[in-house]
Structure 1
Amino acid sequence: MRLVTYKRPGNIGERIGALDAEGAVRDLAAVDPAVSWDNMPALIAGGAAMLERAQAAALKAPVVPNAILMAPIPRPPKNVFCVGKNYHEHAKEFAGSGFDGGAKDVVPPFPVVFTKPHTAIIAQGEPILGDLDPTAGLDYEGELAVVIGQGGRGIAHADAMKHVFGYTIVNDVTARHLQKRHSQWILGKGLDSFCPMGPAILTADEVPDPGALMVTTWVNGEQRQHAPVSDLIFDIPTLIVAISAAITLEPGDVIATGTPAGVGIGFNPPRFLAKGDVVRIEITGIGVLENTVA
């Protein structure tokens, strides 16, 4: 099942729907008012029983005409957790790019975790505000993101996947010169509009093996990234263990798992994004996240 957050033209409020195979939004609340939550984390917190009701409602739900997709979770409980240098080939290209800030290890010994604020989150189709980067070093990073279902702290590796509600797509947009200048990455990666997310959350029951999912990114129709999630250095359970060791994860928290090789700084010279460029990211089963640089 693919769950979405949407709004109707002229309406302010958010609604939760299902995205069908043709890409139409289905109004779950029209069938079952119990799933008429106005935010995705609330539905996720309802657990397996609420998901079953949503799945049943989706079978009969009417199409919402002119629905406007929002990010699946426009405001997670906390900042979006992101993981850097988590594909072997990307770790190598980053180390050789000159933007790694003098890090000693090509492959990090532990997960490199940073965050993006909710003000960075935008939806499928919304513009990336490239002018907010005054250094003209705008880059893209297509990533699989994990959506937490059951929360917890000190989650064991063997139990970690039980805490996954589903998966979505994130573009970890980065101002590379700012990332290098400040060493800590939030000021290079947390700018407004620098976290496109969507179009939907593919629920975990539809993904028996997340390692088999393929992450593919195009810029202006040219394929730049293409790799299976199985190439992660630190897999999804390891990331959940590391983050939850002393930070309580909550329903609706988002973990972007890292990007494959093929980002702009991996080229010589770097191929940064410019106004009008279109970044398209596709992950098996989830759909397509596409945004234009404004």
Structure 2
Amino acid sequence: MRLVTFRGEGGTRAGRVDGESVTPLDAPDVGTLLAAGPDWRERAAAAAGRPVPLAELDLAPVVPHPSKIICVGLNYTPHIAETGLDTPEYPTLFAKFARSLVGPSDPIMLPEASAAMDWEAELAVVVGRTVRGADRGEARAAIAGYTVANDVSARDFQRRTTQWLQGKTFDSTTPLGPALVTGDEVADAADLEVTCAVDGEVMQRGRTSTMLFPPEEIVAYVSGIVTLDPGDVLLTGTPAGIGDSRVPPVRLRPGHLVTTEIEGLGVLRNRCSK
């Protein structure tokens, strides 16, 4: 199953993707659908409204208002190597806030304050049920599905202190979507290709199978710290190829088109703007 959140008159609406069309659901967005109860999948499957063409829809972030966005840094060995940092024993966690999110074709708003904006293609996990203190099996069962994200980062702000948050959550900088895809469609995202291109030039290419901490381990670990709620989003780290590690460093500029793609999950195409 594939679910989207799309914009229309008066707000947003969740929808079920059926090929090239979308069937509207009785929920204002995918996060609200998940939070309404554990039977969200059955309710989504049973919807029989009038379909609308997918190509005509203005897609919002697939989960527009998650209560938590928790991110993992340093989760692909080649990326750890390019940063020169040590391999972590535990997941390296930081957070974003919902105002950082944009839709799959919305502009990335480069902040005036930063001169070092960078791309990071990432697999995102969406939580489908309340989970606390889970083992890996319980964590896997709590995952509603997967989607595509780009953890666009202000490297200059990120390095001001040892804490990364200030470089990671500028408003309107984090594309998320286009759809929530349930695990049965993508073998639980165990081995998917992840790419990021800037103006058509591929900058990153990796596979989710090379993660140091796979999605279910991340969910289990985080749930031992804080209760995860339906609609919460976890970003799982980026493969090698960031602009900051190139010589000289490459920065995002107004007009750049950032194309983020994960095999089986979809594509984000976001133009950088001021």
8 Å Cα contact 1:277/1:293 also seen in 2: yes
C-alpha change, 1:20 and 1:270, in structure 2 (3 Å) is farther
Structure 1 or 2, whichever has the larger Rg, is 1
Q: Structure 2 matches for 1:69-88, cutoff 5 A?
A: 69-78=59-68, 80-88=69-77
Q: Distance in 2 between matches of 1:289 and 1:40?
A: 18
Partner of 1:21: 19
Question: 1:173 Cα deviation (Å)?
Answer: 0.4
Equivalent residue for 2:138, pick from 150, 155, 159: 159
1:115 aligns with 2:95: yes
Question: 1:241 Cα deviation (Å)?
Answer: 1.6
8 Å Cα contact 1:28/1:54 also seen in 2: no
Partner of 1:100: none
8 Å Cα contact 1:278/1:293 also seen in 2: yes
Question: Taking structure 1 as the reference length, what is the TM-score of the superposition?
Answer: 0.87
| SS across alignment from 2:160 | helix
| SS across alignment from 1:293 | strand
Equivalent residue for 1:51, pick from 41, 57, 65: 41
C-alpha change, 1:119 and 1:196, in structure 2 (3 Å) is same
Q: Distance in 2 between matches of 1:18 and 1:241?
A: 28
Equivalent residue for 2:153, pick from 161, 169, 174: 174
8 Å Cα contact 2:38/2:128 also seen in 1: no
Question: Taking structure 2 as the reference length, what is the TM-score of the superposition?
Answer: 0.94
8 Å Cα contact 1:171/1:196 also seen in 2: yes
8 Å Cα contact 2:38/2:129 also seen in 1: no
Question: 1:266 Cα deviation (Å)?
Answer: 2.0
Over the residues paired in the alignment, what is the CA RMSD in angstroms? 1.7
Identical positions, percent = 40
Deviations 1:105-146 (A, max 9, x none): 52111100000111101111111111x142310100000000
| SS across alignment from 2:216 | helix
Structure 1 letter corresponding to 2:96: K
Which stretch has the larger CA shift, 267-276 or 204-213?
Answer: 204-213
Question: 1:64 Cα deviation (Å)?
Answer: 4.9
Structure 2 letter corresponding to 1:120: S
Question: 1:43 Cα deviation (Å)?
Answer: 1.3
C-alpha change, 1:46 and 1:204, in structure 2 (3 Å) is farther
Q: Distance in 2 between matches of 1:133 and 1:154?
A: 41
Gaps of 5+ in 2: none
Question: 1:46 Cα deviation (Å)?
Answer: 4.3
Q: Distance in 1 between matches of 2:76 and 2:37?
A: 32
Q: Distance in 2 between matches of 1:125 and 1:82?
A: 22
Gaps of 5+ in 1: 30-35, 96-104
Structure 1 letter corresponding to 2:62: P
Partner of 1:214: 193
Q: Distance in 2 between matches of 1:219 and 1:157?
A: 36
Structure 2 letter corresponding to 1:55: A
Deviations 1:170-228 (A, max 9, x none): 11000101101132111111100121111111112322241211111111101111111
Partner of 1:102: none
1:284 aligns with 2:263: yes
Question: 1:243 Cα deviation (Å)?
Answer: 0.6
